[in-house]
Structure 1
């Protein structure tokens, strides 16, 4: 299927690994020109280097960073058609999961909302004039199943993502008439570095369960989180949904939430 993305300009945040890297790779394969924003690059992102890819090293906790990334895309590639707000999760200095709501102080709550909500607000604010100038475009926000399935281990994260879902719905209502579609993709547990790195979440769970990280990801997580497909999600599976929503082939879809969670959410 031709997603009609050839020549279009996209900004992707959190682009150096995991879901963001998969989104960048897929957009490039579809012929898009991509500005990849992340604190630092990775060998995997460097391997995609070429005239259609620009990496911008930024810390999205810096209030000016989202606007700088958007302006760089416009300057380098002449405009903007797609914004993928993928960066999220624990901000620098914050570690998840927690054992209780009582573990997080005000500073950690503020940092979580800065990274997972306010950075998105700033990116959207910067991007909208350029999207509208081009006659419209697409914004895709990467949220989480925890936005609708609260967890005491990640309560501040879930609250920030719930706010992100609300933001996306409100934006879709206001800007659809001006050609800008806004949709949300909500992954479940994705097999990314947050889980797989040494000292990551899989190792934390493995220590508690008296097992190893591979057993945690292959068996413990799918069982305890009720993943009906029996496994964690691959980043590419989330990226496929993101890129489809970014594409003109989804021109009739706005204000929607696409769930890619392996059956994690059970509600209607």
Structure 2
């Protein structure tokens, strides 16, 4: 299926690894001009993808990113707010409401909500000048499933879900569609890196890291597929929502979680 993305300009944040890298590659393969945003460039990005080095914890960074896209390609048609997860230097999961202090809460919201809000604020005027566009926010099923684990992260993602629907209501009549993708547990370095989620859960469950990834975590989360989600599976959903082929889809939440969420 032709996603009709050829020649469109896409900004993808958190594009150096995991879901963001898969999204950047996929949009590039579909013919889009891709501006990949991360602190450092990875060799895994295609050569023709333009990299903008930025720390989105810096309130001024989003405006610089959008300005770079305008200078390089003349505008922005697609914004994928993928940057998020544990802030730099933070390891999740973090168990218990009392675990994060005020500074941890602020840092979590800065990275998972305010960075996206600022990216949207910078991109919307440029999109309106081009007659519209598509925004896809990458949230998390944890925003829908309250838990004593990662409560600050879940709260930030729930807020991002709210913002997405509000933006869709305001800017849909002006040609900007806004949708949200909710991944579940995705096989990224959040899980696999040294000291990451798999190591933390292994210590809690008395298991080894490989068993956590292959068996313990999927069973613990009651994932009906029996495995963690692959980043490409999330990227495919993002690409479809960014495409004009989804022209009547806005304000939606697309879940890619291996069957973790069970509510109606």
Question: Given that residues 177 and 251 in structure 2 are in contact (C-alpha distance below 8 angstroms), is that contact kept between their aligned partners in structure 1?
Answer: yes
Report the CA distance between 1:42 and its aligned residue.
Answer: 2.0
TM-score (norm 2): 0.98
Match of 2:243 in 1: 247
C-alpha deviation, 1:67, in angstroms: 1.2
- Alignment of 1:43 with 2:39, yes or no, is no
**Residue pair 2:91, 2:196 contacting (<8 A) in 1 also:** no
Alignment of 1:83-102 (within 5 A): 83-102=79-98
Q: Measure the CA separation in 2 of the matches of 1:194 and 1:96.
A: 8
| 1:179 and 2:175 are equivalent in the alignment | yes
What is the alpha-carbon distance in structure 2 between the residues aligned to residue 199 and residue 27 of structure 1?
31
1:93 to partner: Cα distance: 3.2
- Show the counterpart of 2:194: 198
Instruction: Name the counterpart of 2:126.
Output: 130
Q: Which runs of 5+ in 2 are unaligned?
A: none
Aligned-pair CA distance for 1:113? 0.5
* Aligned residue-pair number: 264
Q: Which residue of 2 aligns with 1:26?
A: 26
Shift of 1:90: 1.2
Q: Distance in 1 between matches of 2:30 and 2:47?
A: 15
Query: Secondary structure in 2 aligned to 1:35?
Result: strand
State whether residues 93 and 200 of structure 2, in contact with CA within 8 Å, keep that contact through their aligned partners in structure 1.
Answer: no
2:208 match: 212
2:107 equivalent among 107, 111, 117 = 111
Unpaired segments ≥5 residues, structure 1: none
Q: CA deviation at 1:97?
A: 1.1
Aligned partner of 2:155 in structure 1 is 159
Q: 1:96-155: CA deviations, max 9, x gaps?
A: 111211011111100101111111111001000111111110000000000010121100
Identify which range, 28-37 or 202-211, moves more after superposition. Answer: 202-211
Please give the per-residue CA displacement for 1:38-65, whole angstroms capped at 9, x wherever unaligned.
Answer: 01122322xx112xx1111110000001
